Structure 1
Amino acid sequence: MEPTAASRLILASTSPRRQELIRALGLPYEIVASEADETVADHLTPAEIVETLSERKARAVYERVPSYPGRQIIVGSDTIVVYNGEPLGKPADREDARRMLSMLQGNTHHVFTGITCIEAGSGRSLTAHRMTRVTMKPLSERQIDRYIETGEPMDKAGAYAIQGLGATMVEAIEGDYFNVVGLSLNLLADMLYSFNIEVL
């Protein structure tokens, strides 16, 4: 079968950042909140965490989406920051954000993002992940507090947004930038190609 762009994507996320990224692919898409439970077992590796949660989010939408004419691919994604083996999700409160940023400043951490694609008609699924290394420059307590005051860290894994004011804190990045934002477009394009959907 020849690859085709005549398919629709369903993003199982209400994240404005992921919506911006998926829009860049130039394919028809819609947004459906997954509302999936995001708790996972403690023994899972970072890669297993993001792959498990991306699959769970996509599966939750797959089970609710009505059948439309044409092909639909449901895309679920999950991102975590990992420092010294500790997964860091979204901060619970300002003190938690301060704890995370105090750990990350002046150090290198890893960002894992998992992606799951499910074809609505057949139920065929594919799950993968990508990892990026990020080094944050040293920050004073005052800088951390001022950043927290902006409110930007509160709904971000690891308590910072590389695509926002948090970019001023990032000293170096090794790997896929968009993976840190929350959706590796490079990886997603490869996964969609396996469903005969051609982005380029």
Structure 2
Amino acid sequence: MDEPKEAAPADEPREPQVRTLDARSLRGLAHPLRMQLLDALRFGGPATASQLAGKLGESSGSTSYHLRQLAAYGFVEDAPEHGKGRERWWQAAIRGLEFDDTLLDDPNPAVRGAADLYLHEVATTHARELSTWLGNRERYAEEWNRATDMSSMTLRLTAEQTRELIEQMHALVDRFRGKDDPDAQTVRVHTHTFPLISE
């Protein structure tokens, strides 16, 4: 398969959307550094390859290459309003990602491998974010320490009941989107729902 070409910048700014991963787009994203770069732009705003390199402990050559690959698949794009001088500024072109579970059963083993890598990297990212919070919690006011949660709950459910639980949890989180409060901070919510493996 030929590498996709970078899309030309649109004349009008558009609102980033949630993107459903398919076999083609997964190929462009299933790499640990690319996933970190996309998250850095989604949550930290526009940046240059050099700025992202310093933040992630990578070389600017490496971040430049992987940013171009992300752009080729439509995950990031130029941020021309930030561009001053010769450095290229990048911004996220999407608001979020949805994973298609059928990728795990794709007939192409390369797609299945990319899907597996992607999910494992998501799990690694969740663990890293939680560890980062625990290592920096003293920087926050006590009200934030009392407002965080690290719980696990064990239930006996059918697959259908588990799906219903997940949908209701997501619907609850969606109720809190878009609230505009001057005291608000970006809050990360992780959910992990899976059957326990019997020993």
TM-score range for the pair, normalised by the shorter chain length? under 0.3
Q: Larger helix proportion, structure 1 or 2?
A: 2
Q: Using structure 1 for the length normalisation, give the TM-score.
A: 0.26
Q: Using structure 2 for the length normalisation, give the TM-score.
A: 0.26
Q: Larger strand proportion, structure 1 or 2?
A: 1
Q: Which has the larger radius of gyration?
A: 2
